[in-house]
Amino acid sequence: MLQAIVGQQISTKAAASVWKRLVELLEPEVTAHQLNTFTREEIQACGLSWRKVDYALGLSAAIVSGQLDFDLLEQSDDDAATKMITTLKGFGPWSAEIYLMFAEGRRDICPSADLAIQIGYQRLKNLKEKPTAKELITFLEPWRPHRSAGCLFLWHLYGSTSLD
């Protein structure tokens, strides 16, 4: 979940760089308890905005206090899990969907607000304009219950330079 915070609204390359510095800071292990041993300034120096530092520390506090129950999260259906995650400050639907898709390996997640997925779909269907998040949900409905795999394909399609 911390990695989702890092990746919010920045490029994949920038997120990888910030994540690398954060992992180095938190060595030997990235945990909520380990994060709490550092100051806001030390965390921010890894490349996080002050707002993301607040989100990271809020996530850490939710984990340490037990407010965020990963066992319950894992047992919940996709909608309930998304709602649980979005109660945390700094976690909107995109962050929740990214976590569920990558960390939990859920098979039918559709982060429709993701710009890369929207552009990937635009390229796939040769559309003049990229679809909105709402349109994309409708367009990807036939891909159920495997929308996660389809969205991974769309990310790769977006990242393909051979199409430009």
Residue 162 has pLDDT above 70, yes or no: no
Q: Calculate the alpha carbon distances from 88 to 5, 55, 137, 148, 164 in Å.
A: 11, 8, 24, 23, 39
135 CB neighbour count, 10 Å cutoff: 15
62, 88 contact by CB (below 8 A): yes
Query: Class of 2-102 per CATH?
Result: mainly alpha
pLDDT band at 54 (very low <50, low <70, confident <90, very high): very high
CATH 1.10.340.30 location in the chain? 2-102
pLDDT band at 161 (very low <50, low <70, confident <90, very high): low
In the predicted model, what is the mean pLDDT of the chain? 94
Residue 139 has pLDDT above 80, yes or no: yes
Instruction: Please write the tens of the pLDDT for every residue from 76-121.
Output: 999 999 999 999 999 999 989 999 999 999 999 999 999 999 999 9
Q: Write the CB contacts of 143 (distance below 8 Å, at least 6 apart in sequence).
A: 110, 150
